[in-house]
Amino acid sequence: MNNIHCKFCELKSTAAKELNDCELEVLGENCAEVKFKPGDIIVKQDSFSTNVAYIKNGLVKIHIKGPIKEMIMRIVKAPAYLCLPSTFGDKTNHFSATALENTTVCFIDFDTFKNLIYANGDFAYQIMIDLSRGQLQSFHSCISNAQKHSIGKVADALLFFSEDIYQSSSFVLPVSRQDLGDMTGTTRESVSRILTDFHNEKLIELDGKKVSIKNPELLKQISLKG
């Protein structure tokens, strides 16, 4: 694998910041950095998992192919780890990960990663925090999709991209209408209709894939009431 100088990396994870210089050197000797373009598959569902993937920069969608259709489970913004549940579970990737923007990923040898967890309790603790946050996000997403109507789910998605991903009221949607449907558990047609309604009611302004939120308070009310 390529020797990555983790010690001098400005995009280290919170967990990696707990490693000493020797541990960072070992980490760098056992990881490889790969760059992905939008649409490139980073991790493929049902493939064998031998590495831990760490997103240094970029944006990724986590999607699972079900018995009927595919669902987008999460949108993950760097910096973040991927594949931890699969790698520490049964070694099979239970989801796919696809780059939504230009994305850089470090693939870390699993045995090296495991040894660092055994050797450094602070590193292990930060990994546990990362896993817990991901699980909580999945819980909230599950509740939202189960209890809200389509209009509330789409409002949720717009606020998520605005507040959590881009920290801006204006942004370019990194996903298609179909992806928004897969993300919210609705159809592409319903998503398109709701976005048009939001535009006509001046909650948002649409220009192709560019979205400008004009009435965030009302959008939040729609999100809460579902």
Token pair recorded at residue 122: 């602070």
H-state helical runs in 55-109: 84-88
Do the Cβ atoms of 32 and 46 come closer than 8 Å?
no
Q: Give domain 6-145's CATH number out of 2.60.120.10, 2.40.30.10, 2.40.420.20, 3.40.47.10.
A: 2.60.120.10
The pLDDT value recorded for residue 86 is 61
What is the Cα–Cα distance from 176 to 45, expressed in whole angstroms?
A: 21
Query: Nearest 5 degrees, angle CA 221-CA 225-CA 226?
Result: 110
- On the question of pLDDT at 1 being above 50, the answer is no
Q: How confident is the model at residue 147 (pLDDT cuts 50, 70, 90)?
A: confident
Output DSSP code: residue 50. -
69-120 pLDDT, tens digit per residue, is 888 888 999 999 986 766 666 778 888 999 999 999 999 999 999 999 999 9
- On the question of pLDDT at 62 being above 50, the answer is yes
What is the Cα–Cα distance from 148 to 152, expressed in whole angstroms?
A: 6
Token pair recorded at residue 197: 């309604």
Q: How far is CA 53 from CA 24, 162, 182, 208, in A?
A: 16, 26, 24, 33
What's the whole-number mean pLDDT along residues 175-191? 92
Sequence-ordered list of residues with C-beta below 8 angstroms from that of 111, at least 6 positions apart, any chain: none
Q: How confident is the model at residue 176 (pLDDT cuts 50, 70, 90)?
A: very high
- Side chain identity at 192, as an amino acid letter? S
**Considering only the top CATH level, what class is 148-225?**
mainly alpha
Q: Which of 133-137, 139-143, 174-178 has the highest mean pLDDT?
A: 174-178
Domain boundaries, the chain: 6-145, 148-225
What's the whole-number mean pLDDT along residues 37-65? 92
Do the Cβ atoms of 207 and 216 come closer than 8 Å?
no
Lowest mean pLDDT among 128-132, 168-172, 213-217: 128-132
- pLDDT, the chain, mean: 89
Q: Return the C-alpha torsion angle 24, 41, 92, 185, nearest 10.
A: 120
What's the whole-number mean pLDDT along residues 160-189? 94
